[in-house]
Amino acid sequence: MIRFQHPEYLWWLSALPLLVLALVLLMMWRSRRLKKMGDSPVTTAQFLGRIPGRLALKAVLLLSALMLIVVGAANLQGGGHPEQVQRKGVDVMIALDVSNSMYAQDLQPNRLTRAKQFIERVLDKLRNDRVGLIIFAGRAYLQAPLTVDYASVQLMLQNASPAMAPTQGTVIGDAIEMAMKSFSQKERNHKTLIIISDGEDHDEKAAAAAKEAADQGIIIHTIGVGSEQGAPLFNEDSHTPKLDENGQQVISKLNQDELRNLAEIGGGSYQLLGNAEDAASRLVGRIDQMEGRNMGSIAYVDFQSYFQFFLLPALLLLIIERLIPGARPIRLWKTA
C-alpha cells in the first residue's frame, strides 16, 4: 500500500508550470536585450565565462529541486503488514454545571471558562474511551451521547452556556439521572460520571440519585469550581450586581461538602479545581486504573516513509546549481 502522508502539499506542483513559463519569458527577454545591444557573437563575447544554455541548465536544476522538495514534503509512504489492535476503554460521561453562578469570577476569567479548560485537558488525555457531555442547571440536557469523536464533544463544549439551560438552578440529581439513562443498561462496570459544578444550590435528590448510580456500577468523580469565600454575581446584560429579595448583593459560594458527599457515595474522588492540567492528570489517572471493556479492534498499518529519497537529491541539485557560476561583463581598465 502506497500513499502520501500529506497529499495537500502536492498542490504546490501546480505552480511549477507557471515558474517554467516565467523562466521562458525571462530567457526570451534576455535574448531580445542582447540583440538590441548589437551583433550577437560580439555582444555575447563581452561576458566573461559565458556558456550557451547555462541559464536553461540552472533553471532545470532549480525546478527539479523544487519539485523533489514538494514531493518529499508530501512524504511518500509504503505500508507494511496490517495488524488488528484491540481497544479497551471505559464510558465517561461529563456533566457540566452551566447555571448563572458559574459566571462568578472567583476563578479568572470565570468559573465556567475554567471548567471548560479543565474538560479540554481531560479530553486531550483520554485514549480509546467513549465520552459524552451533559449540561445542567435547573434541568439536565444531553449535548453529546457517548462517542469516540472527541472533536464533536469539544464543539458542543465550546457552545455551552447558561443560555442553553432556560431553567436555572443547580439540580445535580437531574444530571445524574440523565447520565444513568445514557449509559448501557447491560453492563455494570466500565462507567464513570464526572460532575463539574460549584454545588451552590442544595439538591435533596442528588444523594439518592448518586446512590442509585453507584448501585448500577457507575463511579462518580466530582470537581469543585469556585471558592468557599465566594464572589458576587452580576446581571449578564446590564452588568449590574444581582440583588436578593432583601436588596443585598448575591454572593455565590462553592459548596464543597455537597460535592465531597456525592463523590463518596459514588465511590470516586473529589478535587477542587486549581491548575487544570494537574487536576486533569489526576482524574484521568484514576480513570485509567478502571477495568476497560473491549471497544472493538482497529486495523493498524505501520507505514515506512521515503521522504529522504526526494530531499537528498533535491539538496544535491541545489548545490550543483549554486556551483555553476553566472556570466559577468568584462571590465576594461584603462592604464596610464
pLDDT in tens, 1-44: 688 888 899 998 888 888 888 888 887 887 777 666 655 555 55
The reported pLDDT for the residue numbered 52 is 60
The reported pLDDT for the residue numbered 309 is 93
Q: How far apart are CA 38 and CA 34, in angstroms?
A: 7
Q: What percent of the chain has pLDDT over 70?
A: 83
Spatial contact of 178 and 132, defined as CB atoms under 8 Å apart? no
Angle at CA of residue 158, ends 148 and 99, nearest 5°: 110
State the DSSP code for 72: H
Query: Is pLDDT at 162 greater than 60 in this prediction?
Result: yes
Query: Is pLDDT at 332 greater than 50 in this prediction?
Result: no
Amino acid at the residue 89: G
What are φ and ψ of residue 169, in 5° steps? 135, -170
The reported pLDDT for the residue numbered 87 is 60
Q: How many CB atoms lie within 10 A of CB 289?
A: 7
| Mean of pLDDT values over 210-238 | 91
The reported pLDDT for the residue numbered 84 is 58
Place of cell 533553471: 59
Q: What is the mean pLDDT of the chain?
A: 85
Identify the band that residue 69 occupies on the pLDDT scale cut at 50, 70 and 90. very high
pLDDT in tens, 235-253: 777 778 888 778 888 899 9
Identify the band that residue 59 occupies on the pLDDT scale cut at 50, 70 and 90. confident
Spatial contact of 223 and 111, defined as CB atoms under 8 Å apart? no
The reported pLDDT for the residue numbered 45 is 52
State the DSSP code for 101: G
Q: How far apart are CA 205 and CA 174, in angstroms?
A: 8
230 to 162, 172, 253: CA distances (angstroms): 19, 19, 4
Query: Would you call 165 helix, strand, or coil by DSSP?
Result: coil
The reported pLDDT for the residue numbered 334 is 47
pLDDT in tens, 72-113: 999 988 866 666 555 678 999 999 999 999 999 999 999 999
Q: What percent of the chain has pLDDT over 90?
A: 52
| Mean of pLDDT values over 210-225 | 96
Amino acid at the residue 115: A
- Provide, for the chain, the percentages of residues in helix, strand and coil under a 3-state DSSP scheme, each rounded to the nearest 5: 45, 25, 30
Amino acid at the residue 205: K
Q: How far apart are CA 173 and CA 171, in angstroms?
A: 5
Pairing of strands 76-79, 303-305: antiparallel
Query: Would you call 179 helix, strand, or coil by DSSP?
Result: helix
CATH of 86-297, one of 3.60.15.10, 3.40.50.410, 3.40.190.10, 3.40.50.150: 3.40.50.410
Q: How far apart are CA 150 and CA 120, in angstroms?
A: 10
Query: Is pLDDT at 306 greater than 70 in this prediction?
Result: yes
Query: Would you call 178 helix, strand, or coil by DSSP?
Result: helix
| Mean of pLDDT values over 284-292 | 87
* Of the listed ranges 77-81, 101-105, 173-177, 277-281, the one predicted with least confidence: 77-81
- Locate CATH 3.40.50.410 in the chain: 86-297
